[in-house]
């Protein structure tokens, strides 16, 4: 994407005024590791793809290694795997019900994938895949389309009644149906923007405040450094929380499609 000349000007002045502060947006840049063109499309293996592969490998290795000698009294690693399993299983049971457990593998995969990507992003000098809206939007759009298809597959045309609220005066219906449809259609948008914006804003904030610590120097920087450590802890909490929210909203959408109660 070509940058307009005005932006470059703004960035340069900000850069000069801040006495050489690093650009906080640099961490989100996508680099081609293995350039690849397929039918004219740029399908290069990027650092984003690399971290997705790392995340998928880590999850697979972790679950396989933790459960390699299953015992009734679990070892430490096995209990970590069991806790994560039970955590997501309870989430699905509480929010979708027992008949929703057939979607458990999907929700578990989704939760572990997003959580691992978020946590990998907290490692210094790594890349946060979920800070790119196209990744989160692809996930959210897949969930949205899948949930809508499940709704129509389960209820047929009656699924359209989902958009008609109960106990509403007839005069109000045209307005409310439009609002319901719009709020349903914004679901993939809000789901993806929530994860993307939290990740991107958090990492930008860490970089900007980290530059302040350096700017304060050896004498003044120590107090600010403690502040940064606390902020990093907060970001780790947010990384977990957003993965949790992503999974629980998927469960809520699934519940809407399966049971249709408002």
Partner 1 sequence: MDPSAAKLIGAGLASIALVGAGVGIGTIFGNYLQGALRNPSAAPGQFANLLLGFALAEATGLFGLVVALIILFVF
Chain residues that interact with partner 1, rule: CB under 8 A: 4, 6-7, 9-10, 25, 91, 94, 190, 193-194, 196-198, 200-201, 241-242, 244-245, 248-249
Nearer to partner 1, 59 or 245 (CB): 245
Shortest spacing between CB 156 and partner 1, in angstroms: 30
Nearer to partner 1, 121 or 159 (CB): 121
28: nearest Cα among 129, 134, 137: 129
| Residue 230 CB partners (closer than 8 Å, separation 6+) | none
Shortest spacing between CB 231 and partner 1, in angstroms: 16
188: nearest Cα among 243, 131, 246: 246
SS (H, E, C) 135-193: HHHHHHHHHHHHHHHHHHHHHHHHHHHHHCCCCCCHHHHHHHHHHHHHHHHCHHHHHHH
- The rounded distance, in Å, linking the Cα atoms of 44 and 111 is 26
* Structure-token pair, residue 74: 């679990």
- The rounded distance, in Å, linking the Cα atoms of 217 and 198 is 29
Nearer to partner 1, 18 or 221 (CB): 18
Shortest spacing between CB 126 and partner 1, in angstroms: 21
Nearer to partner 1, 25 or 145 (CB): 25
- How is residue 94 annotated by DSSP? H
Q: Is residue 30 within 8 Å of 46, Cβ to Cβ? A: yes
259: nearest Cα among 110, 159, 145, 143: 159
Nearer to partner 1, 21 or 225 (CB): 21
Shortest spacing between CB 178 and partner 1, in angstroms: 21
Shortest spacing between CB 201 and partner 1, in angstroms: 5
Shortest spacing between CB 192 and partner 1, in angstroms: 11
Nearer to partner 1, 22 or 221 (CB): 22
């Amino acid at each position: 994407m070509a940058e307009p000349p005005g932006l470059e000007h703004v960035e340069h002045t900000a850069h000069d005024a801040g006495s050489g502060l690093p650009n906080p947006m640099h961490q989100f840049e996508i680099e081609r590791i293995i350039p690849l063109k397929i039918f004219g499309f740029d399908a290069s293996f990027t650092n984003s793809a690399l971290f997705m592969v790392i995340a998928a490998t880590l999850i697979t290795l972790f679950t396989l290694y933790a459960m390699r000698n299953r015992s009734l009294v679990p070892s430490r690693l096995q209990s970590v795997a069991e806790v994560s399993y039970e955590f997501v299983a309870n989430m699905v049971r509480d929010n979708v019900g027992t008949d929703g457990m057939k979607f458990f593998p999907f929700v578990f995969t989704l939760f572990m994938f997003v959580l691992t990507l978020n946590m990998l992003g907290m490692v210094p000098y790594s890349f946060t895949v979920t800070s790119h809206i196209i990744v989160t939007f692809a996930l959210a759009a897949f969930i949205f389309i899948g949930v809508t298809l499940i709704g129509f597959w389960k209820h047929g045309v009656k699924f359209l009644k989902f958009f008609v609220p109960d106990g509403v005066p007839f005069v109000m219906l045209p307005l409310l149906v439009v609002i319901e449809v719009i709020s349903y259609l914004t679901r993939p948008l809000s789901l993806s923007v929530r994860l993307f914006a939290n990740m991107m804003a958090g990492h930008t904030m860490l970089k900007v405040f980290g530059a302040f610590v350096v700017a304060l120097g050896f004498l003044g920087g120590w107090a600010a450094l403690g502040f940064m450590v606390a902020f990093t802890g907060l970001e780790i909490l947010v990384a977990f929380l957003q993965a949790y929210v992503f999974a629980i909203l998927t469960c809520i959408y699934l519940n809407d499609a399966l049971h249709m109660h408002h």
